[in-house]
Structure 1
Amino acid sequence: MIGRLRGTLLEKQPPWLVVDVAGVGYELEASMNTLVALPGPGEPVSLYTHLSVRDDAHLLYGFAREQERSLFRALIRVNGIGPRLALAILSGMDEMAFMRCVMDDDAKALTRLPGVGKKTAERLIIEMRDRFPHWEPAEAGLGVASGGSTAADVRQDPLVDAEAALVSLGYKPAEAARMLVGLEDEASTEAMIKAALSRRLAG
């Protein structure tokens, strides 16, 4: 099991990133909260990881915080929640925001996340209520409602990249395009995605 990687960030194209560890490039999929928290390519990074072994692939997921990985692992144990939906949930809100939704029985807020309907939201609330570890509050600036971002890889067409990333999270193309209206002046693809998700959840 690969539990943690420390190396140099080579590439960041949401929701994917590549980390060089002693000359080996590890490709990971990550939540938007983790991607926004990371520095730009060429900078050192340290990520908690989860390795998923399937018959057709070995998939590696990266997390900026250990508690985000803990929630990911708890989510994929819920019936009907796979790694892709778990990442979409973690992209839409941070760990503490998700915990508040569960503890407050706030199914409405959960249904604003891609792929989460009313029945899935209710199942999450029931099954996740007793699964939370003892967490410290999430670091300031990493929640979905926080502003600003760290340095990021500015690609040639960040708007196209942002729309593709939202679609990969489960939003329909037309919905992803609507979420990005008016965000063309954001500094990076990650900032665009963060702002679109914040606006979607504020709903």
Structure 2
Amino acid sequence: MIGRLTGTLAEKSPPQLLVDVGGVGYEVDVPMSTFYNLPVLGERVTLLTHFVVREDAQLLYGFLTATERATFRQLLKISGVGARTALSILSGLSVADLAQAVSAQEAGRLVKVPGIGKKTAERLLLELKGKLGPDLALPGAVIRNEAQSDIVQALIALGYNEREAAAAIKPLPADVGVSDGIKLALRALGK
């Protein structure tokens, strides 16, 4: 499974990107919330990814935040919601807006998203109730560089979930090294 890509942003055409990683170009579909926050072409970018293998295709979906990816994965668990629909939902609503709509049981906000009808909106509200907690409604930590991405992956490997890892890197200085960052993050998580 491909969990993260770090490379040069070679092309971008909504909703797809081409990320050059060591001479290999990966096509990645992203929600518009991620697309609008991308660096300019030729700059380095780190994306958290979700890899989907189907009978006829292998697809990569990318996200700038762990919160977006977690929400995407939660949406995929719902019957009748595929990757394209989940991407459409995250393009039409921020994670915070989606969590707010679910907690308030507002189907009207969901039907405004292209491809979401009344029945699908009601199913989303029913199945997501209690699964998009208040901590998912908070903006996730944007991974600013490769070191922070490595720190998050190390924390996840140590058994922390994505939200805990993302919260632990928020206060870290942008120029922190991987080993120092892991130590600082573990101290923060230990409090």
Please give the TM-score of this superposition, normalised by the length of structure 2: 0.70
Q: Which has the higher helix share?
A: 2
Partner SS state of residue 88, structure 1: helix
Alignment: residue pair count: 140
- Provide the aligned C-alpha RMSD in A: 1.5
* Aligned match of 2:116: 116
The answer to whether the 8 A contact 2:96-2:137 is kept is: no
**Rg larger in structure:** 2
Structure 2 residue aligned with 1:138 = 139
Gaps of 5+ in 2: 142-191
Alignment TM-score, normalising by the size of structure 1: 0.66
What letter matches 1:113 in structure 2?
V
Q: Report the residue type matching 2:33 in the other structure.
A: N
**CA distance, structure 2, for counterparts of residue 100 and residue 120 of structure 1:** 17
Paired residue type of 2:104: D
Q: For 1:3-82, what aligned pairs fall within 5 Å after superposition?
A: 3-82=3-82
The aligned counterpart of 2:104 is: 104
Question: Which structure carries more relative contact order (alpha carbon 8 Å, separation 6+)?
Answer: 1
Unmatched 5+ residue regions in structure 1?
A: 141-203
Match of 2:95 in 1: 95
Shift of 1:35: 0.4
Give the secondary-structure state (helix, strand or coil) at the position aligned to 1:37. coil
Aligned partner letter, 1:82:
G
AA of the residue aligned to 1:70 = A
| Distance (Å, rounded) in 2 between the aligned partners of 1:125 and 1:37 | 28
AA of the residue aligned to 2:66: E
In 2, distance between residues paired with 1:122 and 1:39?
Answer: 36
Distance in 1 (alpha carbons) for counterparts of 2:73 and 2:140: 20
Aligned 8 A contact 2:66 2:140 in 1: no
